[in-house]
């Protein structure tokens, strides 16, 4: 599966120019741009649109224009292309990008060696764009690889159950260690922050944004990025679902929803 990287890079380029904007606000801007774009393509209700607009009003006025302008347009382009990819995804992905063996071979060929592995449990595209944007603003070179791990079920078990083929226990930390060994890295870490927030009962998008400590996640990664190259990935992303009560964050959602990001885990390199 080849991602619409040009629109993602445009989002990163735009967001990276926001300088020292607090991570929490930067994440909210990126998140809202993607959700607003997704709601347009989903033909959401007025109530659901009003929910995201309410959150946008909480962003400093000087940055709101981005969510109606350049960042939003890049997000809209990405969402449309991404939805087409997911809609057209067929069985070949089960044999390729959904197979850890294939992904490891791809990483060995494409990356070769990296300093540190970071696995974000439930890390999704809004977090990846936010993090790479901030690292780019700090003059790091950032690269998003053109293939992703495909997780058709959008749950950790789909990935971890494959670890038995490598004589490993079915824990996400074991996947991080496998990546470390494959890419001759010096260290690895697994960060569970996003998954813990996403699993809160009835987590609305407002509560998700308020509860997720992006600065903590960034600082954990930046500790290594200051001195070495870092590969950031995840086991799956999350979905934004819309019902008569509003908008919610979950993963592994089986129905139709505005944004079905739980099926993919991107790979980003920070140099």
pLDDT tens for each residue of 58-76: 999 989 988 989 999 999 9
Alpha carbons within 13 angstroms on the beta-carbon side of residue 226 total 5
pLDDT in the model for residue 93: 54
Given its phi and psi angles, is residue 240 left (phi above 0), alpha (psi -120 to 50 degrees) or beta?
Answer: beta
Q: 10 Å Cβ neighbour count for 6?
A: 11
pLDDT in the model for residue 201: 64
Q: What is the pTM of this model?
A: 0.95
Please state the φ and ψ torsions of residue 243, each to the nearest 5 degrees: -135, -170
Positions in the chain short of pLDDT 50: none
User: Rounded distance, CA 17 to CA 38, Å?
Assistant: 24
pLDDT in the model for residue 49: 95
């Amino acid at each position: 599966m080849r991602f619409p990287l040009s629109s993602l890079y445009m989002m990163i380029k735009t967001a990276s120019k926001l300088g020292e904007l607090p991570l929490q606000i930067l994440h909210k801007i990126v998140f809202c741009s993607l959700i607003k774009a997704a709601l347009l393509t989903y033909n959401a209700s007025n109530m659901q649109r009003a929910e995201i607009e309410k959150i946008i009003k909480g962003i400093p006025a000087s940055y709101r224009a981005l969510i109606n302008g350049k960042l939003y347009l890049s997000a809209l382009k990405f969402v449309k292309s991404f939805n087409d990819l997911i809609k057209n995804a067929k069985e070949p992905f089960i044999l390729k990008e959904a197979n850890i063996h294939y992904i490891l071979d791809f990483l060995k060929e494409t990356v070769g060696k990296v300093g540190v592995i970071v696995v974000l449990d439930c890390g999704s595209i809004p977090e990846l764009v936010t993090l790479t944007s901030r690292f780019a603003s700090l003059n790091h070179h950032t690269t998003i690889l053109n293939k992703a791990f495909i997780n058709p079920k959008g749950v950790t078990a789909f990935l971890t159950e494959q670890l038995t083929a490598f004589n490993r226990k079915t824990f996400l930390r074991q996947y991080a260690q496998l990546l470390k060994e494959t890419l001759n890295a010096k260290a690895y870490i697994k960060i569970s922050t996003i998954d813990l927030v996403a699993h809160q009962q009835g987590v609305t998008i407002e509560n998700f944004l308020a509860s997720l400590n992006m600065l903590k996640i960034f600082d954990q990664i930046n500790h290594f990025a200051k001195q070495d190259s870092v590969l950031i990935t995840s086991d799956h992303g999350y979905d934004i679902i819309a019902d008569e009560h509003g908008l919610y964050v979950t993963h592994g959602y089986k129905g139709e929803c505005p944004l079905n990001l739980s099926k993919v885990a991107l790979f980003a390199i920070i140099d």
